[in-house]
Structure 1
């Protein structure tokens, strides 16, 4: 009986000392600037810039956030560490941007990223450049399975504040960057079937053109076939 009592006591003590595993920071929900919109700056910051306010929801198991804002014209990234859920940055007027928020805590090495939203910081321009197309499938860096005909369907989405996109030029190649124009589609067509070979890496991008002749180019995405 004494042995059994000691065993039960040991189990109780062990259970009492056991620590819960640290929890990863959760993904935040972005609030403003709204997705695919023209933002409303807080104030002007000289002739060429204005102050833009960013707002997102708090996430669980998070100690701090990192706001990343990318100038889609130059590719320049501005980052800001904060414990708040509201921050401001000075951004170039008349320019499209993307923004994303990382959630972090000191117990977990990896951070958790939010969705990426696009917005336009207004300037004196009358016509807006289209947002760069978002390449949605195959997912960047993924392995895609070809169908029985040896084909894969490329899919993307596009937005323009003027709603005057005219065409998408799809560039596709096994070389990076892809320089071969596979096809130009009308604004209403946002998917294209391509022939591929197994166990090969492919690269693709989409160039968007609107009625005013404004052009934007997506990032290059890659995937491997199986």
Structure 2
């Protein structure tokens, strides 16, 4: 009888300890959503102008303060800068809406700003602007290298007997004279198709071929600049 009472007491304790369930845990807090940054608006150096502000470092270099507007939901910025003469690029990080960068004098550049936010991989890029950094004794600048419009680099175009090459040219001095079109199937040996005062040129093509083209821009003073080499394929 004694052992039966002990067994009953132990069984009752076990039932009490296991039978009473606690309330379920409340729903966990929803994950924090980090809003994507917005794109900055560029301020200085201005687009298609001569940059004549900056601190001269030496005969070949000056330090320019790049400025842009604050963008929403942004913790840091990256200034992307490209030398249009040799295509060398640089990236400068900043936690504010400006950055002092030392660059070559008398050289054309293009730049844009990438906005970043902590906690997300999403970014936003500003438009791209071009400028000439003022150089000693330069009275007239060469045109900016022409930009491709169409066909875009690496594009495939429908079968045709001619393709319209379209580009955009610009010049700080607003004295663009003409463009010379170089074209062919060998990027190392492009042939001149002639010159034009327009920003388009029809080139004869054949199906199944890859073509390369480049534009040489010339101003009224005889200054020239070469674009990058663009390519496209004909179906």
| Normalised-by-shorter TM-score class | 0.7 to 0.9
Query: Structure 1 residues 128, 174: CA separation in 2 closer, same or farther (over 3 Å shift)?
Result: same
By how many angstroms is 1:13 displaced?
Answer: 4.7
Provide the residue aligned with 1:194 in structure 2.
203
1:164 paired residue among 175, 191, 199: 175
1:178-209 Cα shifts (integer Å, max 9, x gaps) = 622223112xx001122334454332211112
Q: Is residue 231 of structure 2 the alignment partner of residue 222 of structure 1? A: yes
Query: Structure 1 residues 181, 87: CA separation in 2 closer, same or farther (over 3 Å shift)?
Result: same
1:41 paired residue among 34, 49, 53: 53
Q: Is residue 180 of structure 2 the alignment partner of residue 153 of structure 1? A: no
Provide the residue aligned with 1:137 in structure 2.
150
* CA contact 1:196–1:225 (8 Å) conserved in 2: yes
Provide the residue aligned with 1:59 in structure 2.
71
- Structure 1, unmatched stretches of 5+, are 1-11
* CA contact 1:178–1:203 (8 Å) conserved in 2: no
RMSD: 2.7
Q: Secondary structure at the match of 2:143?
A: coil
Greater Rg by CA: 2
Q: How does 1:1-226 map to 2 (within 5 A)?
A: 13=27, 17=30, 20=33, 23-109=35-121, 111-123=123-135, 124-145=137-158, 149-177=160-188, 179-186=190-197, 189-198=198-207, 200-226=209-235
* CA contact 2:164–2:200 (8 Å) conserved in 1: yes
By how many angstroms is 1:112 displaced?
Answer: 3.6
